[in-house]
Copies of this chain bind each other. A is one copy, B any other.
Amino acid sequence: MMNVPHERLLGHRSEFVRHANLSAIVREIHFNGGLSRSDLVARTGLTRSGIRAVISDLVGAGLVREERAPSQGVPGRPSPLVQPQPGGAVVLALEVAVDSLAVATVGLGGQVFDLVRVDRPRGRFSVEETVTDLADLARLVRARTPARDALVGVGVAIVGVVRRSDGVVRMAPNLGWHDVPLGAQLAEALGVTLPVAVANEADLGALAEHRRGSAVGVDHLVFISGEVGVGGGVIVDGRPLVGLAGYGGEVGHMPINPAGVVCRCGSVGCWETEVGERTLLMRAGQPTGGGRAAVDAVLRDAAAGVPEALGALDNVGRWLGVGLAGLVNILNPQVIVLGGLFGRIHPFVAASLRTEIDRLGLRASSELVEVRPATLGIDAPLLGAAEFAFEPLLSNPLAWASSAQAAASGA
């Protein structure tokens, strides 16, 4: 429970403190892109000479480079910008979504080298087929990535409930999977000895929106994302809410309507039964299996003023607000980010969900919360998987970078 503000830690010399300094600086540069030495002094509390030493180590490891900043018409030599060296550390990000597979390579600083998304019909795919397809895509993407020997991590986002400790997918109703050791199977198929870190896609969507999307700088955050089901990810005090085993954030299965219908999870009246795609399509008179094309049709109808579409959206908006009011009362967040389906329908549901948050939330909390659409779109979980895969490197830049490179090149 001891919280050491890292600014206070960074003035001292020793091997450990040197690592902490390296970590702090790499994080700043990874999150923020190019920063001047003066920026780094201000953000970390390190001395100028301390910054200089750390940057020299990081340049030596190939993780950052220094660049002359453009002159801003101010007298004196401009402070050089420290830039991430994207090719110096690369992660592989994979995603198993409801109706697509995706793979990307992302460099330090967040540069996406390559990203491939392949649609596949919704339905039950075998684990073997999915793993093989992902490994094939990964080979393709890695071959097109310049610095492929600098692989430092692999992250996987999946539409399912994941045990963090070993990457086992406990349950993925959209795929019909139970207790699948996805992390281990992907490590083998990819031929890497690096750990493959697997997590729920909405948890990773929350991480991506927090670091690179609609909620940068927001430390109390709820991300909800809908397609067939409803996923959620929560950030508490700047840290992802993981829970005991990694199952936290499953807001789609809050019991919300005891008089409601049976959910795919086997329960009754879960939030997702009232706000999911199926309910929206049914109420709007579209085929419930119509997928994204049918949702597009609802949005077109709504824009044209078709009452059935507007009514269906209003209904989903109200039930969204009911559940969000509960989350506002439990979590007192600063921002709620709407992703996936909810981001797309945001313009049509913003008013009704706000009404319900204000009606059902405690005023102290509801008056503070802002609801925003996500900005990273469909790729948020994939980009979150990349961020997740960078964590070991960010915690111990030099040690990790060298050992991971050895492991990757030995594969």
The answer to whether A14 touches B16, judged by C-beta atoms less than 8 angstroms apart, is no
Contact A255 B326 (CB under 8 A): yes
Copies of this chain, whole number: 2
B255 close to A256 (CB less than 8 A): yes
List of B residues within 8 angstroms of A20 by Cβ = 2, 4
**B362-A234 in contact (CB<8A):** no
Q: Which of A9, A27, A241, A244 has the most CB of B within 10 A?
A: A244
Chain A: interface residue total (CB-CB under 8 A): 69
Bound Cα distance from A236 to B27, whole angstroms? 24
Interface stretch of the complex, out of A52-60, A308-316, A363-371: A363-371
Across the interface, A6 reaches (CB within 8 A) one of B4, B237, B334, B359, namely B4
Q: Are A16 and B8 in contact (CB under 8 A)?
A: yes
Do the beta carbons of A236 and B247 come within 8 Å of each other?
A: no
- In whole angstroms, how far apart are the Cα atoms of A44 and B27 in the complex? 27
> How far apart sit A359 and B12, CA to CA, in the bound complex (Å)?
54
A248-B1 in contact (CB<8A)? no
Nearest-CB distance from A310 to chain B (Å)?
Answer: 21
B250 near A365 with CB under 8 A, answer: yes
List the one stretch of A61-69, A138-146, A191-199, A257-265 in contact with chain B.
A257-265
Across the interface, name the chain B residue whose C-beta is closest to A232: B330
Residues in B neighbouring A2, C-beta threshold 8 A = 6, 20, 23-24, 27, 395
- Collect the chain B residues with CB atoms within 8 Å of residue A280's CB: none
Interface mask (A209-242 → B, CB under 8 Å = 1, otherwise 0): 0000000000010000000000010101111011
27 contacts between A and B (CB under 8 A): A1-B238, A1-B239, A3-B395, A163-B364, A170-B364, A171-B362, A220-B243, A237-B239, A244-B332, A244-B334, A247-B329, A247-B364, A247-B368, A248-B331, A249-B330, A250-B329, A253-B326, A253-B362, A254-B254, A254-B329, A255-B256, A255-B325, A255-B360, A258-B322, A267-B325, A267-B360, A326-B326
Per CB-CB distance, the 7 closest pairs between chain A and chain B, nearest first, are A243-B332, A254-B326, A247-B332, A248-B332, A170-B364, A250-B329, A247-B365
